Amino acid sequence: MAPPGTGTLVNTLAIGMGSVIGWRVGCHLPRGTTETLLQTLGSLVVVLGIQMALTLSSAAQSVIVLVALVLGAVLGEWINLEAACERLGQALEKQVSRWLGPSPITQAFVSTSILFVVGPMTLLGSIQDGLGDPSLLLVKAALDGIATVAFTASLGWGTLFSAVPVFLVQGGVALLARQLQPLLRPEMLAALEATGGILVLGIGINLLGLARLRVGNLLPALLIVELLVGWFPIWELNF
């Protein structure tokens, strides 16, 4: 049994290492190559989002996710989470660009932060990590590290800062692992994956430049869908 938090620490370091490698690689790539790489990543993220969302298997599940997204959008727009993330990205850019060089980091920071945090692997892996089993987060660390290399090469060093929300979210869940174990019910993980898939799809659309979706303002939907599924036993209804 590994010390609690081992998987979170490795995941954070993998993102940091991937960012350094991707930054060095990106410095030597022609602009056309980085644009093609970004389009490829955007397409892959769209496919991933669709795959996650397709876990929905009934009208009842679709309605629950829709309600969560609508309520999450209203709450997120009221709080304006997207603007807060952008301000944070701009502040980081102002402070760090003197050492790493100029690079617009807001899109990189927001997109990769949401992508690496959203999804059932984060919740399930972090709870297991808090209970002494880091195996799932070690797999996630490898996936995130590889993805970070590609994202940094195309978007710049802003992806480095996605390690901070990953560390805070996964570390916080690991610390509360025993209290959060009820969230590992299959229907709650499925609801989280389907709702997260919609957010991931939005990130892919943004990366491809097809639209400008404020995905950050949809983040409350992840909490809301868990509350809906936890309080109302209708996820398994067949209609």
Taking only the tens place, the pLDDT of each residue in 151-180 is 888 888 788 888 998 999 999 998 888 888
Q: Is residue 75 part of a domain?
A: yes
Residue 119, domain member (yes or no) = yes
pLDDT score recorded for residue 35: 82
Residue 154 lies in a domain: yes
Give pLDDT < 50 ranges for the chain.
Answer: none
Q: How many domains does the chain have?
A: 1
Q: Is residue 1 part of a domain?
A: no
> 238 lies in a domain?
no
Give the pLDDT score at 97: 63
In a domain, 115, yes or no: yes
Per-residue pLDDT tens digits for 207-226: 888 888 888 888 899 999 98
- Confidence at residue 78, expressed as pLDDT on a 0 to 100 scale: 92
Residue 110 lies in a domain: yes
Which pLDDT score is estimated for 186? 85
Range of the domain at 221: 6-231
Q: pTM score, two decimals?
A: 0.84
- What is the model's pLDDT at position 213? 84
Q: What is the pLDDT of residue 192?
A: 87
Is residue 236 included in any domain, yes or no? no
DSSP characters over the chain? -PPTTHHHHHHHHHHHHHHHHHHHHHTTS-HHHHHHHHHHHHHHHHHHHHHHHTT--SHHHHHHHHHHHHHHHHHHHHHTHHHHHHHHHHHHHHHHHHHH-----HHHHHHHHHHHHSSHHHHHHHHHHHTT--HHHHHHHHHHHHHHHHHHHHH-GGGGGGHHHHHHHHHHHHHTHHHHGGGGSHHHHHHHHHHHHHHHHHHHHHHHTS----GGGGTHHHHHHHHHHHHS--TT---
